[in-house]
Amino acid sequence: MSVKAIFFDAYGTLFDVHSVSEKCEQFFPEKGMQISEIWRMKQLEYTWLRSLMDRYEDFWKVTEDSLLFALKALDLQASQEIRSALLNEYLRLKAFPEVPKALEMLSNRKMAILSNGTQEMLNPLVRNANLTEAFNEVISVDELKIYKPYMGVYELGTAKLSINKTDALFVTSNPWDASGAKTFGFQVCWINRNNKPFDELGVQPDLVVKNLEELANTLP
């Protein structure tokens, strides 16, 4: 495995989307994780559906819409203030604990984030986790107005880093994203944090690890 550059997915890979469940739990006791799970599932669905319908709205709007759905689905009443407070948690997602050290170990290569999130959503996450220096680029699909796993998004990554796709490793915890990146032609590492099965989309990742630390220890 020859790796001259590494692309990292953000949500679920570097940053824990279920960080929001704590705040959900404050407003809606015993419902925090359930809200968070429906919220995340619908957020992804809406990115795929809007892309297929060619009706792009940015990830902030999609995240707001999917939160609204999650609250309705669970029959929870929430004021505009509560909804805003929950949504703003997306600007404070925590990096997984092993991330800073692992990125340092991997830093002898070009590294970039390639994410569905907007620049406005990604920058505070990177800053709060003190990862600003770790990345050559923070790349958002927002530039193309279409979401992963559309091939053009992965292509955008290679253009931004001026790298051949076969020289790059794409790292993600999302099986559908790994399948997209593999279809595009990247080398792919799937971060399987919770011992889940991979998706049945006709491709397999080149490498499977349980977190970024294991990846850092594995890459030559």
CB-nearer residue toward a copy of itself: 205 or 215 = 205
Catalytic status, residue 9: yes
Q: How many CA atoms lie within 13 A of 21 on its CB side?
A: 14
Q: Contact between 42 and a copy of itself (CB under 8 A)?
A: yes
Residues 19-38 that bind a copy of itself (CB under 8 A): none
Q: Are 143 and 122 in contact (CB under 8 A)?
A: no
Hey, what amino acid is at 77?
A: Q
Q: Contact between 52 and a copy of itself (CB under 8 A)?
A: yes
Q: Contact between 77 and a copy of itself (CB under 8 A)?
A: no
Q: How far is the CB of 194 from a copy of itself (least distance, A)?
A: 11
Q: How far is the CB of 147 from a copy of itself (least distance, A)?
A: 8
Angle (CA) 102-105-106 rounded to 5° is 90
CB-nearer residue toward a copy of itself: 51 or 140 = 51
Residues 123-182 that bind a copy of itself (CB under 8 A): 147, 149-151, 176, 179-180
Q: Are 215 and 102 in contact (CB under 8 A)?
A: yes
Distance from C-alpha of 142 to C-alpha of 197, rounded to nearest angstrom: 30
Q: Are 33 and 18 in contact (CB under 8 A)?
A: yes
Q: How far is the CB of 173 from a copy of itself (least distance, A)?
A: 16
Q: Which runs of E-coded beta strand occur in 62-164?
A: 94-95, 110-115, 137-140
Q: Contact between 56 and a copy of itself (CB under 8 A)?
A: no
For the annotated catalytic residues, the residue numbers are 9
